[in-house]
């Protein structure tokens, strides 16, 4: 017998985007949070969705994400040079 009275995986994954957008009610939020703590496949998918969402959001705002990354890398390199020298 599995102790599964939480929402099942497919329901959780259906609601991940609403969860991320803060569109769920407190009860649903709590159910999904509990499920994610217990269920590593869902948690992995949730992490992927967060990363994907951040990427999409960034690429909507920035015309050239690769360029932005290059600039950040240059800043890091410059900071490192300053620290060393
Ligand atoms: Zn799950």
pLDDT of the residue at 64: 56
* Structural domains in the chain (count): 1
Q: Would residue 78 count as lying in a domain?
A: yes
- Ligand 1 geometric centre to CA of 28 (Å): 14
- Ligand 1 geometric centre to CA of 55 (Å): 24
Cα 63 from chain centroid (whole Å)? 21
Per-residue tokens: 30: 């709590």
- In eight-state DSSP terms, residue 72 is H
- Ligand 1 geometric centre to CA of 26 (Å): 19
- Ligand 1 geometric centre to CA of 22 (Å): 19
Could you list the residue range(s) of the whole structural domain that residue 61 is in? 9-84
Q: Would residue 29 count as lying in a domain?
A: yes
* Contact between residue 38 and residue 6 where contact means Cβ atoms under 8 Å apart: yes
- Ligand 1 geometric centre to CA of 57 (Å): 26
Long-range pairs of 40-47 with CB within 8 A, sequence gap ≥ 24: 41/9, 42/9, 42/12, 42/13, 45/13, 45/16, 46/16, 46/19
Q: Would residue 32 count as lying in a domain?
A: yes
pLDDT tens, 28-73? Answer: 999 999 999 999 999 998 888 888 888 777 776 655 567 767 777 7
Q: pTM above the 0.85 mark?
A: no
């Amino acid at each position: 017998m599995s102790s599964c009275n939480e929402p099942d995986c497919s329901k959780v994954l259906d609601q991940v985007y609403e969860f991320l957008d803060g569109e769920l009610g407190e009860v649903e939020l709590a159910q999904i949070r509990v499920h994610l703590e217990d269920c590593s496949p869902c948690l992995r998918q949730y992490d992927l969705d967060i990363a994907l969402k951040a990427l999409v959001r960034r690429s909507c705002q920035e015309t050239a994400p690769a360029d932005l990354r290059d600039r950040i890398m240059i800043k890091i390199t410059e900071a490192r040079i300053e620290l060393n020298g």
